Structure 1
Amino acid sequence: MQAIAGFSWWAAVFLSPVVREATLGNLGPVAVAVFDIPLFVMASAIAAFGVKAAAVVSTAWTGIVAVALAGYATVTTEAGWGVLGMGAATVGSLIALCLVLLGRVPTAWIIRGPFAFRPAIPRPTAATHVVSTFGQIVLFWGFFLAVIPFTVAFLEQRWAVALPFPSFAPPVGVTVLVLASALGISAAVAMSTLGDGTPLPSAMPNHLVIAGPYRWIRNPMAAAGILQGAAVGVILQSWLVVAYAVVGSLVWNYVVRPLEESDLEERFGEEFRQYRDAVRCWVPRVWRTRSHKR
């Protein structure tokens, strides 16, 4: 698929001045094609037959071109759409490389080291966990909802790939951001006060929390984070920030959530299985229990 997409793009570059200018700016297409066609298009095609060396070459070249093109676009404000295309190709190349070399995408690697799932050290009072949780909120929200979105929005403008938003978008975004933040804070408070732990993977709750927002959906903090990211994108009128939130939701749902729920099932057994069967992940549903925590 990558080889076909690369071949199609190069055909469009030579046939359409619009595509050439949007993806390469003032770079000479022939000079770029001399390297990119054999190292990207042809190498991707050869890698499709399981040739490991070709997969390594294609991935390395794609990453180099993506970084170089991003630098060029940031300086010149040209070839912004080319940066996005090569960025997507880099992600695809990395996934393909894992499949060729390992036969799978090693998603479990993300929960190693400081991100490994470990229960928090029990505390005599919940105050310590509450303080730690709010410290985490400040740190993570500041990075994922401010630093990254503002950087992405700046690059979006610099690369000239911005798209128009309706005038009512910012007020709607502010409303969603406030509501989502309230959901995230209430979930964090419930986890730290009732779970004897924090939302951080390395200091997870020691009790299964089924109170507060956890009565309605299994992952209210994740839902809040996704909505917050999308809301910030709408406020900044940045479709790339909205896309960043959507991609984050997909990664969380298909990569992080299965690992997290496997850990919860291992630690809490039948109690978690009953909770999982009774409460949906995304769509709220009423679930009654006699206890606030276990």
Structure 2
Amino acid sequence: MNRHLTEANKPKKRLRIFHGRMYFALQALAGAAWWLGTAMIPGVASATLGGINPLLIAFVDIPLFVIGSALAALNFRWAVWIATAWTVIVALGMVIYATATTEAGLGAVLMILAALGSLLAGVLMIFGRIPSEKLLIGPFAFHSSHTRIRSRLQMRTTLQIVVFWGVFLVIIPVIINAFEDRWNLAYKFPILIVVVGFALLAFSSVIGVWSARAIANFGSGTPLPSQMAHHLVSRGPYAFVRNPMAIAGVIQGMAMGLLIGSWLVVVYALIGSLLWNWLIRPHEETDLIERFGDEYRDYAKRVRCWWPTFSTAESDTDLVDED
């Protein structure tokens, strides 16, 4: 049985490795284009390197980053380790340099993104997959709630909202914004954009609270994976879309960026949503299928994952809590 499963997974593994190779190919091309730009356009060097002499970096970066990424794209596994390790080291160095000197902030941001991409692509090539299930530990491991008492569930849900929103929508954005200011990358948004950010934050927060209460009221659980619902929730906002809390979280993060005038916070929200959709959502849906079976499969056929399905929403009478 395991042999057949392994054989069936081989095409997917080869495809994932191919995706990793394509990333390194694009990174090699981007690196070569960037070095060409630093040689021909003075503004590129000053924005990404600050006061660092490009020649001092080129002798090491071109072989390890550009050529190393190209060799990784050709499926030389040892080159994957070299290109990824060097990219992470340079990213850390650029963060320290930009923070200490207030120069080359754009270079720090670009290298952070390159390091993240290299790590993901490198793991794909070495292991043939991203072992994202290892992230599902502790409070993020899938377990049903130990209690079904509604008052306790609502209290725990409220506490979770305060903690998670406080961390992901306040603390982390404030830290990102501080680096953005320090690196001289801040951009003053027009007042209309700030007002739009406030409106989006208020709207998405209402959706988030509504979704959390639906889980507590109709599912006898909380939004936290380790205290999940005992029943499939298809009422409230879940009657229109399968992931209203995730959608609310993405909009909240982007809205916070608009509200405080930080384009890096907007990027943070977008990248976070992509990583959640790619790494975590498949495990969540697998768990729902295992626990609810055909009930969830039928629900997934009726209601889309990201785009609201108003035409198939349950009637108002079905949405009334009979409890």
TM-score by length of 2: 0.86
Hey, what does 2:85 align to over in structure 1? 60
d(CA) in 2 for partners of 1:178, 1:8: 42
Q: CA offset at residue 113 of structure 1?
A: 4.6
Q: Pick the aligned partner of 1:179 from 180, 188, 203.
A: 203
Alignment length, in residue pairs?
A: 292
Q: Pick the aligned partner of 2:267 from 210, 235, 243.
A: 243
Is 1:18 matched up with 2:40? no
CA offsets per residue over residues 228-280 of structure 1, 9 Å max, x none?
Answer: 11110010111111111111222222332222111111110111111111112
Judge conservation of contact 2:147–2:153 (CA < 8 Å) in 1.
no
Hey, what does 2:219 align to over in structure 1? 195
Q: Pick the aligned partner of 1:27 from 42, 45, 52.
A: 52
Is 1:227 matched up with 2:251? yes
Give 5+ residue unaligned stretches, structure 2. Answer: 1-25
CA offsets per residue over residues 46-74 of structure 1, 9 Å max, x none?
Answer: 22222222211111111111011111111
d(CA) in 1 for partners of 2:105, 2:39: 18
d(CA) in 2 for partners of 1:105, 1:186: 33
For residue 168 of structure 1, give the secondary structure of its aligned residue in structure 2: helix
Hey, what does 1:7 align to over in structure 2? 32
Judge conservation of contact 1:180–1:228 (CA < 8 Å) in 2.
yes
Counterpart residue type for residue 128 of structure 2: G
TM-score by length of 1: 0.94
Hey, what does 1:69 align to over in structure 2? 94
Is 1:98 matched up with 2:111? no
Judge conservation of contact 2:194–2:259 (CA < 8 Å) in 1.
yes
Matches within 5 A, 1:60-209: 60-123=85-148, 125-209=149-233
CA offsets per residue over residues 127-157 of structure 1, 9 Å max, x none?
Answer: 1111111111111000000011111111112
Judge conservation of contact 2:232–2:292 (CA < 8 Å) in 1.
yes
Pick which of 229-238 and 151-160 moved more. Answer: 151-160
d(CA) in 2 for partners of 1:197, 1:105: 29
d(CA) in 2 for partners of 1:168, 1:233: 14
Pick which of 196-205 and 108-117 moved more. Answer: 108-117
Q: CA offset at residue 111 of structure 1?
A: 2.1
d(CA) in 2 for partners of 1:175, 1:224: 13
Hey, what does 1:48 align to over in structure 2? 73
Q: CA offset at residue 18 of structure 1?
A: 0.4
- After superposing on structure 2, the runs of 4+ consecutive aligned residues of structure 1 that deviate more than 3 Å are 289-293
d(CA) in 1 for partners of 2:242, 2:93: 42
Pick closer, same or farther for the CA change 1:190–1:114 going to 2, 3 Å.
closer
Q: CA offset at residue 164 of structure 1?
A: 3.9
Is 1:268 matched up with 2:268? no
Hey, what does 1:284 align to over in structure 2? 308
Q: CA offset at residue 87 of structure 1?
A: 1.1
CA offsets per residue over residues 163-203 of structure 1, 9 Å max, x none?
Answer: 34222112221111111111111111111122111111111
Judge conservation of contact 1:122–1:206 (CA < 8 Å) in 2.
no
Counterpart residue type for residue 216 of structure 2: S
Q: Pick the aligned partner of 1:39 from 64, 74, 83.
A: 64
d(CA) in 2 for partners of 1:121, 1:269: 21
Counterpart residue type for residue 157 of structure 1: D
Pick which of 214-223 and 228-237 moved more. Answer: 214-223
Judge conservation of contact 1:226–1:249 (CA < 8 Å) in 2.
yes
CA offsets per residue over residues 9-50 of structure 1, 9 Å max, x none?
Answer: 111112211000000000111111122112211211222222
Give 5+ residue unaligned stretches, structure 1. Answer: none
